[in-house]
């Protein structure tokens, strides 16, 4: 059974949304959970990116752990746009750009992870505020992932609920053996305008196969 959308704030009129900024992430959390987040995270995920504007975050990949199974999964994921880290490079620059997706009403995320040798890895994905959980992340070839959003110990946490394949109007649930496993992204405020990003993938058979830790700060918007 697919998870149901959590209790959310009632959406105010559009004019009120323009005054307050972007309420789409806020509406995915319970009121008390949103209030428990640090002000900097609330502001970051309430920033309205419209009219072709882009928000840019710069930082570094501090650490990447890849088990053999994780490396294999990351290589196979190249078939759908290479959305998972493929190398173990540490302390290398990284840049994330977030732009409004005018066509779908979501956001386009572009991540550039440099390497010590060779071309950087560029990851494109689109976040859409849709589906049974209220939030989906789409990569290429119609593959997507439904996400649930949580507040845990003052951090904003995104968890995969299920994966799917969209072929035209048809949407098919992907069996667990065709997915990398349970994915969790934890966004934690570190102070001084800096925040951390922790990506973990736990496979049902092999345990934690991927872990990537990075830090960022906003440089332009």
Cα(198)–Cα(157) distance, rounded to whole angstroms?
9
Tokens of 118: 């060779």
Taking the CA of residue 97 as centre, how many other CA atoms within 13 Å lie in the half-sphere pointing to its CB? 10
Is residue 144 within 8 A of residue 163, CB to CB? The reply is yes
Is residue 73 within 8 A of residue 83, CB to CB? The reply is no
Full-model pTM: 0.88
Domain ranges of the chain: 52-220
Q: What is the pLDDT of residues 119-143, one digit of tens each?
A: 999 999 999 999 999 999 999 999 9
Q: What is the pLDDT of residues 151-199, one digit of tens each?
A: 999 999 999 999 999 998 899 999 999 999 999 999 999 999 999 999 9
CATH pick for 52-220 out of 2.30.30.40, 2.40.128.20, 3.40.630.30, 3.40.640.10: 2.40.128.20
Cα(95)–Cα(112) distance, rounded to whole angstroms?
5
Phi, psi of 20 (to 5 degrees): -85, -15
């Amino acid at each position: 059974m697919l998870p149901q959308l959590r209790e959310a704030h009632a959406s105010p009129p559009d004019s009120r949304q323009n005054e307050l900024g972007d309420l789409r992430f806020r509406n995915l959390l319970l009121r008390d959970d949103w209030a428990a987040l640090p002000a900097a995270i609330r502001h970051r995920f309430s920033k309205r990116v419209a009219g072709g504007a882009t928000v840019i975050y710069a930082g570094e990949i501090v650490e990447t752990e890849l088990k053999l199974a994780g490396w294999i999964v990351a290589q196979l994921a190249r078939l759908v746009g290479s959305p998972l880290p493929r190398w173990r490079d540490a302390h290398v620059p990284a840049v994330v750009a977030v732009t409004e997706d005018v066509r779908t009403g979501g956001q386009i995320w572009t991540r550039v992870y440099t390497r010590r040798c060779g071309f950087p890895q560029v990851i494109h994905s689109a976040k859409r505020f849709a589906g049974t959980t209220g939030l989906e992340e789409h990569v290429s070839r119609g593959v997507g992932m439904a996400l649930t959003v949580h507040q845990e110990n003052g951090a904003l946490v995104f968890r995969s609920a299920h994966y799917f394949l969209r072929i035209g109007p048809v949407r098919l649930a992907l069996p667990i053996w065709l997915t990398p496993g349970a994915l969790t992204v934890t966004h934690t405020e570190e102070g001084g305008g800096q925040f951390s990003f922790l990506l973990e993938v736990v496979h049902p058979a092999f345990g934690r196969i991927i872990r990537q830790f990075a830090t960022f700060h906003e440089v332009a918007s």
